[in-house]
Amino acid sequence: MTKIGEDLIKSMNQALEYEQTGKGARRRVIRVKEVPVYTAANIKNIRIGLKLSQATFAHVLGVNVKTVEAWEAGTNPPRGTARRLLEIIEKNPAIIKHYVHQ
C-alpha cells in the first residue's frame, strides 16, 4: 500500500474513533491579543519618534497622506489592520529601517 493510502486509512480510523468515543481529536485554543486603539496624540508620537514627515509615514504605511492627517487630527481614527500595523511599529520601531532610507 502507498504512503498516501496508509495516511488515509489512519485518518479514517481516527475519525471513526472520535465519532464513536469523542476521544482522540485534539483541540488547540489560540488567544489573539486585542488590537489596541490609538488616539491622535499616540499616532503623532509614533511618527515623530520615527523622525518621519506625515507624507513619508503615510508612504511607509501604504496610505494616503490625508489619512495620516485625519488620524493625527482625530477626525478619522485608524481601524483594523492599520491599528495592528501601528502597534507593530510602536513595539518595534527598527522595522521601519527596512522601508525608509535616510
| 36 to 31, 75, 80, 81: CA distances (angstroms) | 15, 18, 9, 11
The residue ranges of every structural domain in the chain are 1-30, 40-98
pLDDT at position 29 is 86
Separation between Cα atoms, residue 14 and residue 20, nearest integer Å: 10
pLDDT in tens, the chain (102 residues): 788 888 888 888 888 887 777 665 567 788 999 999 999 999 999 999 999 999 999 999 999 999 999 999 999 999 999 999 999 999 999 999 888 876
Can you give the pLDDT at residue 20? Answer: 79
Q: In this structure, what C-alpha cell is assigned to residue 9?
A: 486509512
- Classify domain 40-98 by CATH architecture: Orthogonal Bundle (1.10)
